[in-house]
Structure 1
């Protein structure tokens, strides 16, 4: 039985993360070295590049504060000022001490980069609010926003298991972020970020903005958020007062840092969820602006940040604008179950993270038991020094080369590479469920994989509505010319083919030969939407029962028809999806 998990606490994580190597962004690494090697480069050019890269900015400001914080009057937060104080030689030495790339061998590198972009998104949000409500020095505000997210950056580099545990608790089990951080780390991220900032000798003003500043109560914020949402269609705005009923200031740099990071985190999960919309309503009341204007401003900031930090394979802040609103999810782990859940996660990650090495023999084998290299069989061929007598040397040398091994055939798949992609997805579904932030992401990934890896031309996943009275198309691939199929809806009453499929996990292959036999059970509305006589259907289930259904066909122009291999792949994928959904705790 696994021993109970013990969170390590604030002091341990400060000493661990303070020494973490944080690589700068790939493009900036190349550019900064090019500038440093050019003899005509000015400190102003270096400062411009430092201001653009959040990690390089943090390294330069940290080095400057470590060296000059006690002598300088005020806060050293301006990148150009810090670059001029350090000088070209110190900047060059600092860049040489950093890794030149972002660690391509680290499989969590995309999450590290995504955490950096999320912090940059928060900083850009805070800057966009300054014209409406001034919060002091803009450089200090950006620095505080970046430092607020540094624990996330560092943990994906040196403590990926703990980062994955927090991510699984928040994304899959719907545990509040602060509670998940306390259970896994023994402290909250904000106080860890403040302790790191103090360890790096940043000013008290910056440290106070990260954690410890007076924050209005949730009840106070919710009151004005509801008022802003109530008047969302009006040109008038709802103004939040400068002080709460308890006399706390609502107008502070710390509140801006907290609010911008919260909005960046929530929008990364879903742009259309209630927490994200609530955050934007709070921003509207805080800035005394109409909610419609704040919605436009928030989206434009996300788009601009996505353009600045366009990295292949890393989720951008504006990416979630493309996805529909996910279904509401309740918390799945009770507070009393947290310790057991974290202990289970820690034991699972500990067993699979580091492969055991074979123990070395304490004493070498005696000479009599060692193989004699002189008696080992030697290869016979053209390059052998001596060939045994009696062999036809000419026949050996002129023998034809062996026939090439036939390429592996994967029926139903486009190619061997696509088969490998499919196997990777199935492995994630069954063995790495935390790789998906939600059930919706898993459904989209399955739909994309079936569309890209097989000959299926149209793939749609539909889910049950909360009342469980109808199926609604959620995500589709290959249906750009069939909008009715892309957005189809099927009522489950009166009973029909879909009602039968949702009673238990089942798959069916509807073909031209079977159309007459089931003529009365296929809803006419769906028949008009698909306009196809040859298609697959399969239902998927979670622990509460029926969850949804997958549809696939070869399109309207296909003359070959579906195959047994494709049907086998389709059924297997649906079964694996149900296993993934069933494994998630209710």
Structure 2
């Protein structure tokens, strides 16, 4: 647990831990310490001639970290044959006694420290993963589905990145927790801000490097995760909501029949209940599980409680709150041990990498201009159009159709022309949305330097943010000094740090209920604030563009 980090600071932050590739490269060879009792029992079993594969399998199954080591070693052996481990017994029997003996010699025991929040979080994360695996395996057995043991392993390793992060990057996890609990930032967005990617992406990267099964990778792949809207529909189906159409029901049936669905569902459950069993999110999740298993709500809740208790008995670290203990707790908004204490921070800071981000290019400082006479000092941008003829012409072409607009790109360019030459906005960024790859990327800028972050900005739209909200339906956002703090919580730090001193506008453009672009506009770094005049005309022009796209 106290292994020193081996990341050295270099020029221009070439070794800064930020982004999925950097994290996978840093974490892939780090050791995972095993409970001392499990390691001792393993060595005793391996020393006996009477030990059978079933004895070793039972021991490996009882300790998730030991299971990780055995499966990783077995996957290396199977890689040469182009196959994968399908169960714990398969992994143990594939290795045999001698390789297991060699493996046991390389493993490190956990030195329990009852005052270490880092260690408690690591062990509790492992326990939560074990809880998820037990839930998923039982659901598979109840539904009489195949690949039960493979689902168990995939569920167990679903959050492997979280194990590794608490173990090897506690200072980063401390920052993430502070953002979540103290700044009320969405967990996924908080991870993206501090780590440069999500925990799920790190887990998938590690699984790819270690050669885990295709099912594990499918479960960890962010592209297979249902959207918030689809999850709401799942809950509607669980409540037998008659508003769901036949097409929507077919889509939901297809989702629940995917092999990776119970893996994701079990891990969502274990994460949610680790923060309390009486939350609204857990009630909805229980309804979805009830529908998935075909049980009534009371029987489902009793089953989940029973399995949670069984998982807690199977794997428990002294001094660590077991998942089942949460069932006994009175609901509270106060999160215990969510971050490192001051003394522990001082002890860990020299030993682990410090949270850093690639430094953005500094904003260009404009040379000050001579002050205007007092009577000419303005508090807002004048409520006039730069060119009323161009503005009205573009609007008319959007509303009444224009024969030269034959492609969506023509309408988008007409919109840019109307905003710049008609409305007179100083800076515009056209961000195109790719719904297949769930990405938003800057495609064109006007009035913004080519080396400015907005000119090349891109974001994963699966990360909860203001951009994801704008892609749910056509909407316009007017960010002012009064509400800037509220909106910056919905933005990655890399974006919010580049916002101008005063106002900016953002609006999504749709075609056939599908987002195609998000337009950003402001009056420059130090421009004056907008008024309702500019907001209304910006929104009207963007809405007219959406109408024109709808008719194509």
TM-score for both structures, normalised by structure 1? 0.51
Matched, 1:109 2:115: no
Residue 60 of structure 2 is aligned to residue 50 of structure 1: yes
DSSP 3-state at the match of 1:83: helix
Match of 2:274 among 268, 275, 286: 268
The unaligned stretches of length 5 or more in structure 1 are: 232-237, 330-341, 357-586
Residue of structure 2 in register with 1:209 after alignment: 219
Instruction: State the partner residue of 2:512.
Output: none
User: How far has the Cα of 1:279 moved from its partner?
Assistant: 1.2
Q: Deviations over 1:458-502 (max 9, x none)?
A: xxxxxxxxxxxxxxxxxxxxxxxxxxxxxxxxxxxxxxxxxxxxx
Residue 37 in 1 paired to residue 43 in 2?
no
Q: What 5-or-longer segments of structure 2 have no aligned partner?
A: 1-11, 352-552
How far apart are the structure 2 equivalents of 1:9 and 1:220?
28
Deviations 1:201-222 (A, max 9, x none): 1232331122156343322322
Residue in structure 2 matched with residue 407 of structure 1 by the alignment: none
Q: Equivalent residue for 2:106?
A: 97
**What residue is the counterpart of 1:567 in the other structure?**
none
Query: Cα offset for 1:355?
Result: 6.1
- Pick from 290, 294, 297 the counterpart of residue 291 of structure 1: 297
Task: Quote the Cα distance in structure 2 between the aligned partners of 1:123 and 1:10.
Answer: 25
How many angstroms does 1:168 deviate by? 2.5
- 1:14-413 aligned at under 5 Å gives the runs 14-73=24-83, 75-102=84-111, 104=113, 107=116, 108-212=118-222, 214-226=224-236, 228=238, 245=251, 249-326=255-332, 353-354=348-349
Distance, in Å, in 2 between the alignment partners of 1:134 and 1:209 is 20
Distance apart, 1:260 and its partner CA: 0.9
Query: How far off its partner does 1:277 sit?
Result: 1.3
**Pairing 1:358-507 to 2, within 5 Å after superposition:** none
Counterparts of 2:350 and 2:170 in 1: how far apart (Å)?
Answer: 16
Residue deviations 1:137-185 (CA, integer Å, cap 9, x gap): 1121111112212111111211111122222222333322211111111
| Distance in structure 1 (CA, Å) of the matches to 2:99 and 2:146 | 30
In the alignment, is the contact (CA less than 8 A) between 1:213 and 1:254 conserved in 2?
Answer: no
Task: Judge conservation of contact 1:135–1:252 (CA < 8 Å) in 2.
Answer: no
Aligned partners of 1:57 and 1:284: how far apart in 2? 30
Alignment length (residue pairs): 332
Cα distance in 1 for residues equivalent to 2:188 and 2:162: 13
Change in Cα spacing, 1:60 to 1:241, as seen in structure 2 (3 Å) is farther
Q: CA deviation at 1:308?
A: 1.7
User: Offset of 1:267 from its aligned partner?
Assistant: 0.3
Q: Which has the higher contact order (CA 8 A, sep 6+)?
A: 2
Structure 2 CA distance for partners of 1:250 and 1:64, relative to 1, 3 Å: same
Q: Deviations over 1:380-424 (max 9, x none)?
A: xxxxxxxxxxxxxxxxxxxxxxxxxxxxxxxxxxxxxxxxxxxxx
Q: CA RMSD in A?
A: 3.5
Bigger mean CA offset, 161-170 vs 248-257: 248-257
The residue number in structure 2 matching 1:540 is none
Shift of 1:253: 2.3
Please state how far the C-alpha of 1:309 moved relative to its aligned partner.
Answer: 2.2
1:247 positional shift: 9.1
Paired position in structure 2 for 1:544: none
Distance 1:243-1:192 versus aligned 2 partners, 3 A rule: farther
Provide closer, same or farther for how the CA distance between residues 79 and 88 of structure 1 changes in structure 2, counting only shifts above 3 A. Answer: same
Structure with max Cα Rg: 1
Rounded Cα–Cα distance in structure 1 between residues aligned with 2:113 and 2:218? 36
Question: Per-residue deviation at 1:104?
Answer: 4.1
Q: Is the 8 A contact 1:119 1:149 kept in 2?
A: yes
Q: Report the equivalent of 2:456.
A: none
| Residues 61 and 274 of structure 1: CA distance in aligned 2, closer, same or farther (over 3 Å) | same
- 1:100-156 Cα offsets, whole Å, 9 max, x none, are 334549922222111110000010111121144455311211111122121111112
Name the CA shift for 1:242/1:41 in 2 (closer, same or farther; >3 Å): farther
Structure 1: how far apart are the matches of 2:35 and 2:240? Answer: 42
TM-score by length of 2: 0.54
Distance 1:247 1:143, change over 3 A: closer
